[in-house]
A and B are shown apart, each in its own frame.
Chain A
Amino acid sequence: MSYVKVWADHEQLNKNEINKLKKDGLSIFEDIPKYARDGFESIPKDQYMYFKYAGLTVQKPQDKGLFMMRVKIPTGILNAEQAEVLAEIGHDYGRDILDITTRQSIQYHWVPLEKLPEIFDLLKKVDLTTSEAEGDAPRNVVGNPLAGIDRDELFDTRPTVNEIYRFFQDNPDFSNLPRKYKISINANIYNAGHAEINDLAFTPASKVVDGKKVLGFHVKVGGGLAAKPYLAEQLNVFVAKDQVRNVASAVTTLYRDYGYRKSRARARLKYLVADWGIRKFEEKVLELTGPLPSAGKDETVGWNGGFFFGAHPQKQDGLNYVGISVPVGRISSGDFSKIAGLAKQYGSGELRTVNSQNLIIPNIPDRALNDLLAEDIFKKFPVHPTPFTGYAMACTGNEFCNLALTNTKDKMEEIAARLDREVDLDVPVRIYMVGCTNSCGQRHIADIGIQGLKLRTQKGELVDAYEIFVGGTLTGGGHFNERLKGRIAASLISDVLKDFLLYFKKEKEKGETFFTFKNRLGTEKLQTVLDDILKAATSERE
């Protein structure tokens, strides 16, 4: 460690901070082999928090010695060996299930404590890690899943992602941050890295310097969703590719040294940015980096929601990528292995994870494309998914998460499948479901967000229920969706959404997206539509 913990003598540090001063989170890797040998009962409860730094969360029920485990995949790129090992771990240790997360990571459940050392060995052999996939540290670096092959990228971000990942990974100078810290590095002009919801985001930009156009990045800071969502704000700087590490280090140092450590509920970077204001934050960054050019031309032209379905030509002539739908991001290890096998058989073996919880097989030669697309697996995981199932996302839900009040993944799949059968649209509608007020399933930026709750009806029944939110986006800097009044029992939610979307179908203009439609009609109008639907649905049941 080559820095002074300037907060160490602060009087009002939260409990986690006091613990982190005594013991660095990364030291948990030294303890895990002993705990694995001696059993779950040997772990003092005050050590649970450190497991996060190894990408592990004690899974409920908390006395069974099972963990949720997350593996980082920077910008979502896996080689063949890595993909095979991830499938193998799911099969051997994770009850055959892999979840693709909204940060392009892979998440497992039911991982037994005693197996962790051998899992870590397997991951290490293929240069993968769970380290800092959770905890108060830099999380997986998200980015363009098409980096290096993308016709819509300003330049290849793979070297930059790799540099930043290696710089921060297990770096003791940055392993004790006030809270989780999310970095996005993307040069796709359709904002594939979801810049505005990250703590630190590098976005595609250009600037004319000495008469020559230079490609690089703009920088946004302080974004995040959760219960108090905040859209990242832009610094007035242009960052050449060779300056990214310098800027990332400066922003992260400011967060480490000035970020709030009194309350964990007020510790994300967004609170510091909100208090300082973006200009003061920028001044502080420049004090650390030295002078940087002012912002140039923003090259972002829109937002694709992180969806890349279908077969498309790469920037390399004669090669193609194939975007595959994985409904709500959940896939069996056998199916993951099959897809990894196809990537090897038809492509280069590379497989990519997407922040919309889907997969991409890159590097398919023109001559092999039709044969690949004829494979049976794409009946189950389509490359041209239906407008609802293909664009649905869900958080973990109450199956594994202690905060969630309702099921999400199964319910979302069930609703989307019905909508696909009964509502025929000319545009996709992004529906994201979460089980609590946090936003692990990115509910705030969905066309239609669904949030779970428990409802006691007038008849005294206690049922799962949902509230719906309309009109979220990251287009044009972003807008969070807005709640419509009315709580919808789980037994009614698919009926209600079906009628709501049939109204959208009837009233929309050709090619009009849900976001444009919502802005044209207004939230108040959609509220009256929902009120009528709810009234009719409820009276039908009575």
Chain B
Amino acid sequence: MELYRLIASTEEGEIPIVAAAESEAEAFRIADREIQHHYLKKPKITDIALIQRKSIGKNGAGYLIRPRESYE
């Protein structure tokens, strides 16, 4: 199992998404599911990008979610 960090791009800006999944394809499916679940009115998604992957070890894994710096 791996922890994936994704970003959905919309006209209003970027939406950070985190998914624990067995594969990249599954991570995208989870991102879809979470977007569907979260919004009453779904934003227009331009694209979804997977930008980082971490193994989930015994001590777990995580991401700190905040706006990216210009160099990131």
A482 touches B47 (CB 8 A): no
**Residues from 378 to 411 in A contacting B, C-beta threshold 8 Å:** 402-403, 405
A174 contacts the other chain (Cβ, under 8 Å)?
Answer: no
B53 touches A482 (CB 8 A): no
Please name all residues of chain B whose beta carbon is closer than 8 Å to the beta carbon of A482 when the two chains form the complex.
Answer: 70-71
B52 contacts the other chain (Cβ, under 8 Å)?
Answer: yes
* Dominant secondary structure of chain B at its interface with chain A: strand
Output the least CB separation between B60 and chain A (Å). 12
A483 touches B52 (CB 8 A): no
Please name all residues of chain A whose beta carbon is closer than 8 Å to the beta carbon of B24 when the two chains form the complex.
Answer: 405, 454, 462
A455 touches B53 (CB 8 A): no
Interface CB pairs A-B, < 8 A, 5:
A405-B53, A455-B49, A456-B28, A480-B70, A487-B49
Chain B 42-72, CB-CB to A under 8 Å as 1, else 0, gives 0001111111110100110000000010111
B40 contacts the other chain (Cβ, under 8 Å)?
Answer: no
B25 contacts the other chain (Cβ, under 8 Å)?
Answer: yes
Contact of B47 among A14, A487, A523 (CB under 8 A): A487
- Could you tell me which B residues sit within 8 Å of A by CB distance? 9, 24-25, 28, 45-53, 55, 58-59, 68, 70-72
A-B contact count (CB 8 A): 55
A307 contacts the other chain (Cβ, under 8 Å)?
Answer: no
Smallest CB-CB A-B distances: 8 pairs:
A480-B71, A454-B50, A482-B70, A456-B48, A453-B51, A453-B49, A455-B49, A456-B28
A469 contacts the other chain (Cβ, under 8 Å)?
Answer: yes
Asked whether A444 and B49 contact (CB < 8 A) given A15-B59, A454-B24, A462-B24, the answer is no
B47 touches A455 (CB 8 A): yes
Asked whether A444 and B71 contact (CB < 8 A) given A402-B55, A462-B24, the answer is yes
CA distance A487 to B51 in the complex (A): 11
New A-B contacts (6) at CB < 8 Å, excluding given A15-B59, A456-B47, A458-B45: A454-B24, A454-B49, A456-B48, A469-B71, A483-B68, A483-B70
Residue among A15, A402, A453, A481 with max Cβ neighbours from chain B (10 Å): A453
Output the least CB separation between A67 and chain B (Å). 18
Q: Which chain A residue shows the least CB distance to B71?
A: A480
A477 contacts the other chain (Cβ, under 8 Å)?
Answer: no
B51 touches A437 (CB 8 A): yes
Output the least CB separation between B32 and chain A (Å). 9
Please name all residues of chain B whose beta carbon is closer than 8 Å to the beta carbon of A465 when the two chains form the complex.
Answer: 49
CA distance A453 to B51 in the complex (A): 5
Q: Which chain A residue shows the least CB distance to B64?
A: A265
Output the least CB separation between A521 and chain B (Å). 16
B50 touches A405 (CB 8 A): yes
A227 contacts the other chain (Cβ, under 8 Å)?
Answer: yes
Contact of A437 among B28, B45, B47, B52 (CB under 8 A): B52
CA distance A469 to B69 in the complex (A): 12
Chain A 456-472, CB-CB to B under 8 Å as 1, else 0, gives 11100010010001000
CA distance A458 to B47 in the complex (A): 6
Please name all residues of chain A whose beta carbon is closer than 8 Å to the beta carbon of B9 when the two chains form the complex.
Answer: 487
B72 touches A437 (CB 8 A): yes
A436 touches B52 (CB 8 A): yes
Residue among B48, B53, B68, B72 with max Cβ neighbours from chain A (10 Å): B72
A229 contacts the other chain (Cβ, under 8 Å)?
Answer: yes
Please name all residues of chain B whose beta carbon is closer than 8 Å to the beta carbon of A483 when the two chains form the complex.
Answer: 68, 70-72
Please name all residues of chain A whose beta carbon is closer than 8 Å to the beta carbon of B28 when the two chains form the complex.
Answer: 456, 462
Please name all residues of chain B whose beta carbon is closer than 8 Å to the beta carbon of A469 when the two chains form the complex.
Answer: 71
Chain A 21-63, CB-CB to B under 8 Å as 1, else 0, gives 0000000000000000000000000000000000000000000
Please name all residues of chain B whose beta carbon is closer than 8 Å to the beta carbon of A403 when the two chains form the complex.
Answer: 53
B50 touches A453 (CB 8 A): yes
Please name all residues of chain A whose beta carbon is closer than 8 Å to the beta carbon of B51 when the two chains form the complex.
Answer: 405, 437, 453
CA distance A308 to B15 in the complex (A): 44
B71 touches A455 (CB 8 A): no
Output the least CB separation between A60 and chain B (Å). 11
Please name all residues of chain A whose beta carbon is closer than 8 Å to the beta carbon of B72 when the two chains form the complex.
Answer: 227, 437, 483
Please name all residues of chain B whose beta carbon is closer than 8 Å to the beta carbon of A15 when the two chains form the complex.
Answer: 58-59
Please name all residues of chain A whose beta carbon is closer than 8 Å to the beta carbon of B68 when the two chains form the complex.
Answer: 483
Residue among A227, A456, A482 with max Cβ neighbours from chain B (10 Å): A456
